[in-house]
Chain A
Amino acid sequence: MTASTVEDTTRREASRRVGFSISAKQAWGLLFVAPYMAVFVLFVVFPVSYSFWLARDPQLYVELAKDPIFLRTAINTLVFLLVAINVKMVLALFLSGFFTHPRWWVKITAALFVLPWAVPSIPTILSIRFMLNPEWGVINQLIFKLTMDDGPNWLNDPTLAMALSMVVHIWKSLPFWTLILLAGRLAIPQEIYEAASVDGAGAWHRFRYITWPSISMLYVTCTLLSMLFTLGDFNSVYLLTGGGPADLTHVLATLGIRYLRLDQLNMAMASIVCAMPFVLPLVFFMMKRLSR
């Protein structure tokens, strides 16, 4: 911080000496950054401002609050965030420890484990959806073979359907966070562990006193970032339940699209604008953390 301030001052003095025109280097700098700024203005600034403008009428929010589906969606989103993110991050933390073990078969498992993340959502989520089909799905066939009873109609029960959307979300995004936490663990110098082992520290003590203090900040950052990504996850819910049964399993990400399909553009914008007081502080906090 101080170094760059000093540098800035010297540069400012240097340019003052040359004159008031911006230096050639800065002109080139602007030219190189121009394509990104064009993308940013055209496809972020304009759409976001436009959506705030469309959603400016206070009456929209009254209407939104009266829509029982909106209220249900808000609760679903909250539960989704709280449960899915915590389960996912704790699993990722645990599995990242598993993947540090140097075994040939653990390496192969790690390579395969990435597949759900690398492969497109649509075929895999539809595959899971099909496994859950009450008549022909493999899961209910198995239940029938074992108990001679019909299994539940998984996606017809809003609570089960919501829970299964979370399972799908975790299936899809667990590999990414596991890899990030694994990278964090591998960055810890091995000698510390060796020294601790010599002193007779067991696995739990090594985790408690070496691993956790080293990666707890990373863990918190990942959890917050995962919160923003999870809010933006449309596929897990839409492809599994389509928001059904009876629009009871929507989350904010699918609700906007629902209004859009009902040709209620202003409501779609308003439902997203509603989330902004919660999203923006988190976004600014993350920017602060990661731009250092």
Chain B
Amino acid sequence: MTRGRLMRNVSTEAGLLLIGIPVLLWTLIPLYHMFLFAISPKDAAFSGQLWPTNPTLRNFEMVFGQKHHFLYNFWQQMLNSVLISVGTAIVTLVVATAAAFSISRLRLKGGRLVMNLALFTYFIPAAFLAVPMYKTMGIYGLLNSDWSLVLAMVTVASPYAIWILRQASDKLPVELDEAAIIDGASPLQLFRMVYLPLMVPSLIAVGTYALLLAWNEYLYAFLLLSKDTAITLPVALGNFLAADDSPWELLMTAGFIYALPPAAIYYAFRKYMSSGLTAGAVKG
């Protein structure tokens, strides 16, 4: 390696570090700040240290033991979040997979129209649909039931899910369907035995997407659920804000606990997520 080339490599490396370090700080500081509060004793949290002198797990004990009146329903609210996100993922998968199969493999007449309706929903700003949705759920008598949030989240998640699944299923060769039909398969058998097994990677991507969307949702949860035992954890955390004497270290601890599952799920399915979810967008 010549001296000039070495110098050039060193300066490229330095340039990259000059971007990389601020990017890391920008990304991680709010997250680290949350973690720092979770492991700090109550009064030490406000001292502005980079690492607490006496790190403690007491906040976790308080949260898990529901030992503060803000947290009396912690486990119930966590369970609500789990049920609602799993419910959303399952219903979205059923609805969107069936629709994508119909549009892409059965070549439904008017499939294009359905696709456009789905895209229309996807593009309507989420907060704009929230107010009418709240009123509608009241009319249907679903307010305060888990189903209201599941159905609202399915409405929000399925358009993108259908879009992604349709693009994936358009790539499957037609010959597969033809062979199955010659063998006497009904559309239902075609769906179950040929289509679903081939779509597994996309189904994982879409299921994860719907699960995370519902887990992370705040606005719809905050509007549609209000009873202390019916709300999800984000709404409970939001309610901390109303009080003057909010126990911030407990809020941060509960928030940290709540943020862990989506991060873990995201990393576990990262391969499917990035290939599945960006495939659609790159086309544009």
Chain A interface (Cβ < 8 Å from any Cβ of B): 11, 24-26, 28-33, 35-37, 39-40, 42-44, 46-48, 50-51, 54, 95, 98, 101, 103, 105-106, 109, 111-116, 118-124, 126-128, 130-131, 136, 138, 141-142, 145, 171, 175, 179-180, 183-184, 187, 217-218, 221-222, 225, 228-229, 231-235, 238-239, 242, 252-254, 256-257, 260, 265, 268-269, 272, 275, 279, 282-283, 286-287, 289-291
The CB with the most chain B CB atoms within 10 A, among A35, A225, A257, A286, is that of: A35
Contact between A115 and B251, CB atoms less than 8 A apart: no
CB–CB B27/A116 < 8 A: yes
CB distance from B179 to the nearest CB of A (A): 16
Encode contact with A along B207-240: 1 for CB under 8 Å, 0 otherwise: 0000010011011000100000000001001101
Is A269 a contact partner of B132 (Cβ separation < 8 A)?
A: yes
Interface of A is mostly: helix
Q: Is the CB of B48 within 8 A of A36?
A: no
Select B282's contact among A24, A54, A218, A256, beta carbons within 8 Å. Answer: A218
A232 contact set on B, CB distance < 8 A: 124-128
Tell me if B199 is interfacial: C-beta within 8 Å of chain A. Answer: no
Q: A43-B133, A114-B266 are in contact. Are A231 and B125 (CB under 8 A)?
A: yes
> Is B241 interfacial (CB 8 A cutoff)?
yes
Least Cβ–Cβ distance between A88 and chain B, in angstroms: 13
Q: Which residues of A contact B95 (CB under 8 A)?
A: 35-36, 39
Bound-state CA distance A282–B119 (Å) is 12
The minimal Cβ–Cβ distance linking A286 to chain B, given in whole angstroms, is 5
CB atoms of A275 and B19 under 8 A apart? no
Given that A115-B27, A257-B223 are known contacts, is A51 also in contact with B127, CB under 8 Å in the complex?
Answer: no
Number of chain B residues whose Cβ lies closer than 8 Å to a Cβ of chain A: 96
In the bound complex, do residue A106 and residue B129 qualify as a contact, i.e. CB atoms below 8 Å apart? no
8 A/B residue pairs, CB under 8 Å, sorted by A:
A29-B102, A30-B108, A39-B151, A47-B135, A122-B238, A126-B251, A180-B278, A252-B128
Beta-carbon contact of A33 and B284 below 8 Å: no
Q: Is the Cβ of B282 less than 8 Å from the Cβ of A180?
A: yes
Residues in B116-174 with C-beta less than 8 Å from chain A: 116-121, 123-136, 139-140, 151-152, 154-155, 158, 162-163
Whether A120 contacts B99 in the complex (CB less than 8 A), given A283-B124, A290-B119, comes out as no
| Complex contact A119–B259 (CB within 8 A) | yes
A178 CB → nearest B CB, Å: 10
With A101-B16, A123-B252 known, 10 other A-B pairs at CB within 8 A are A33-B98, A118-B263, A119-B31, A120-B255, A124-B255, A232-B126, A234-B127, A257-B130, A283-B120, A290-B119
